Amino acid sequence: MSKKRILLFSFIIVVLSGISAFSQEKELDTEVVNIVKPYTPTISDAFKVKETPTLNDSISTTKKEVKYSIFSVPVASTFTPSKGKATTVEKTKPIKLYDNYATLGFGNYTSILGEFYSNFEISRTDNAGFFFRHNSSQGDIEGVKLDNKYYDTSLDANYTSRQKDATYRLDAGVEHQLYNWYGVPEIVYIQEPNVQIDPQQTYISGYAGGSIALDDSFFERAAVNIRYLGDAFSSSEFNATLKPEFSFPLENLTFKIDGDIDYLSGSFDRNYTNTSDIKYSFLNVGLVPSINFVNNDLSVSLGVAAYVSLDSENSDTDFSLYPRLNASYRLLDETVILYGGAEGGLQQNTYYNFKEENPFVSPTLNVAPTKKLYEGFGGIKGKLSNSVAYNVRASYGKDENKALFQANFINLLAPGLEGYQFGNSFNIVYDDVNTLAFFAELKVEVSDKFSLGINGTYNSYSTDLQNEAWNLPDLKASVFSNFNITEKLYGGASLFYVGERKDLHVDPYNTQEVTLDGYVDANLSFGYRFTDRLSAFVKGSNLFGDNYEKWLNYPVQGIQGLAGVTYKFDW
């Protein structure tokens, strides 16, 4: 090291030592420091080192550029790929549906069954159809002395139009029926008066009506029907009904208003004693408002039915209210559903409905409406599996002025005896009836090959004026089944049981209650499809051969057999 550098280094050491000694000896005082702005550090300028430094070395050499090319030589190939083929899915052949069919069958007791149905597609939205049916038998019931044949022939037509926002339907039809009052008591034959009896009765009826249903409208639908009925004894009845339905959706509820307008007018040429005629006329107007709530598990409907009934013949007006309450709750999804409620209403009885239930009524009826004051009910229903469903229900209700069928008394002293005045027809009597009922049903549908249903109803009646609830059974039960034995062979079976009924027998010598025995009616049918168009069938009815009495003194035919064919086609 040079002398100059040694002297400079010594000088620096001396200066620094002096400064340090001065600093330690100096007394420090407190001093206030004012910060003008926060300290903001900055990054000093820096340079980035290049990743690939430039080499300036005489030893390094440059790479030589390489040029290359591909020499392509064609190769001969004889391989030809085969075309792919999609795998097919096996599908069952769809059942061909035909728009028309005709059925013709014949059986013992000279029975004839004829049916013809046809449907015409007028356009994509409109279609029309008609249905003709004839069912008749010459009777020949064992032990019956009077003619007991019957005929039932009807023709119905309809027209339906399904538009974008509405569906319209028109219906019309006529029907002709012939029956005989053949159930004459044995006492009538003491003096062989049967030669004077003409037991034949005929009914002629016709109807016309229609309905309209709208989508996305508070006015949901309305149905109107007009029906006329006449018979061989100058009886006539005119019945017109109108039932509109309105719905107003709210936030979580639906407010509904249903209307019920029923006008009935009719007359009978005479009463049972041939002393005067009978006329009746009623106008019933009902309004049924209700609030409906539905969610995933709970469904509730709270409503009331208000009716005004005008009896024109007796100049009487009546106002009545009835409950319309329904609720159901899914306790265990579809397995257990609890339901219950209370319902009532005004039921307009008609001559047409009476003869449909019992064609042996006399043309001398007292027709009046029935007040169903209430029927409280509750039950459990659901599905034990996808193929097994059940329903159990109990109810208790009261009907005011309930219509009951009762045998007419023997009226041999009436002037100008008619064929229904020999104790062989039925009248209508009215009474207040309380009914306690239990109902149970089980349905099993294993597949489209087999289904089975069982149901039964037990009723206990209490009356006010009448001794019994005439001709109402205490027990009714049925078993029914449908099955497909093979693809072409199919069948069905049913078994009906009706328990004991009570009726009143009145003759010139005494009056007594009569008990009609319960009966079982077994039915079996088989069909065979030759093609999708042609099939044959056989039916057996009342297979136990019991000539039971469905009504007092009215035994039915024994074992009945019927065989026929059905042909389906398109025009």
In tens, the pLDDT along 410-456 reads 887 777 789 999 999 999 999 999 999 999 999 999 888 899 999 99
Contact 520, 497 (CB under 8 A): yes
Cα–Cα distance, 313 to 202 (Å, whole number): 27
The three-class DSSP label of residue 19 is helix
| Domain assignment present for 514 | yes
Phi/psi-derived region of residue 139, left when phi > 0, alpha when psi is between -120 and 50, beta in every other case: left
What's the CA gap between 131 and 122, in Å, rounded?
A: 17
CA angle 126/130/136 to nearest 5° reads: 165
For residue 538, the model assigns a pLDDT of: 98
Residue 510 domain boundaries: 115-211+220-236+322-569
CATH classification at residue 371 = 2.40.160
Number of domains in the chain: 1
Alpha carbon distance 1, 21 (integer Å): 29
Q: What tens digit of pLDDT does each residue of 506-543 get?
A: 877 788 999 999 999 999 999 999 999 999 999 999 99
What confidence tens digit (pLDDT) does each residue in 242-261 have?
999 999 998 889 999 999 99
- For residues 51 and 6, give the distance between their C-alpha atoms in angstroms, rounded to a whole number: 43
Assigned domain for 544 exists:
yes
Q: How far apart are the first and last CA of the chain?
A: 131
Please indicate, yes or no, if residue 23 is contained in any of the structural domains: no
Q: Is residue 90 situated within a structural domain?
A: no
- Average pLDDT of the segment spanning 457-461: 97
Taking residues 27-48, what's their average pLDDT? 50
Q: Is the pLDDT of residue 267 over 70?
A: yes
Instruction: Record the tokens describing residue 555, joined without a space.
Output: 């035994």
Instruction: Kindly state whether residue 538 falls inside one of the protein's structural domains.
Output: yes
Give the per-residue pLDDT at 96. 75
The SS3 of residue 187 is: helix
Among the listed residues 488, 487, 569, 484, the one whose alpha carbon sits nearest the alpha carbon of residue 528: 488
Q: Are 523 and 491 a contacting pair, CB within 8 Å?
A: no
Q: How confident is the model at residue 197 (pLDDT cuts 50, 70, 90)?
A: confident
Q: Which residues contact 262 (CB under 8 A, 6 or more apart)?
A: 239, 240, 241, 282, 283, 284, 285, 286, 348
Query: Which helix (H) or strand (E) is 20 found in, with range?
Result: helix 3-25
Alpha helices in 31-70 (DSSP H): none
Q: From CA 245, how far away is CA 303, in angstroms rounded? A: 14
DSSP calls for 133-169:
EEEEE----TT--S---EEEEEEEEEEEEE-SSEEEE
With respect to residue 31, please indicate whether it lies within any of the assigned structural domains.
no
Average pLDDT, the chain: 87
Comparing CA positions, the residue from 421, 415, 410, 411 lying closest to residue 361 is 421
Amino acid 268 reads F
The tokens for 276 are 């005067």
Residue 432, pLDDT score: 98
Inter-residue contact 505 to 406 (CB < 8 Å): no
Nearest Cα neighbor of 329 from 296, 293, 295, 298 is 298
What is the spatial distance between Cα 349 and Cα 404, in angstroms, rounded to a whole number? 11
Rounded to whole angstroms, how far apart are CA atoms 338 and 421?
Answer: 51
- The radius of gyration of the chain's CA atoms, rounded to the nearest angstrom, is 47
* Residue 188 domain flag: yes
Nearest residue to 301 via CA among 262, 359, 348, 254: 254
Residues near 372 by Cβ (< 8 Å), separated by ≥ 6? Answer: 322, 343, 344, 345, 346, 347, 397, 399
Place of tokens 């307008």: 261
- How many other C-beta atoms are found inside a 10 Å radius of the C-beta of residue 299? 16
Q: Which residue has the higher pLDDT, 510 or 124?
A: 124
Measured in degrees and rounded to the nearest 5, phi and psi for residue 329 equal -140, 130
Tell me whether residue 362 is in a domain.
yes
Q: Do 406 and 426 touch, CB atoms closer than 8 A?
A: yes
Span 212-219, average pLDDT = 92
Binned at pLDDT 50, 70 and 90, residue 81 comes out as: low
Q: Exposure of 518 by Cβ count < 10 A (0-12 exposed, 13-18 middle, 19+ buried)?
A: middle
Cβ–Cβ < 8 Å for 201, 166 = no
**What is the signed CA dihedral for 71, 74, 75, 80, rounded to 10 degrees?**
140
Q: What is the mean pLDDT of residues 397-413?
A: 93
Rounded Cα gap, residues 549 and 11, in angstroms: 150
Instruction: Name the DSSP class of 418.
Output: -
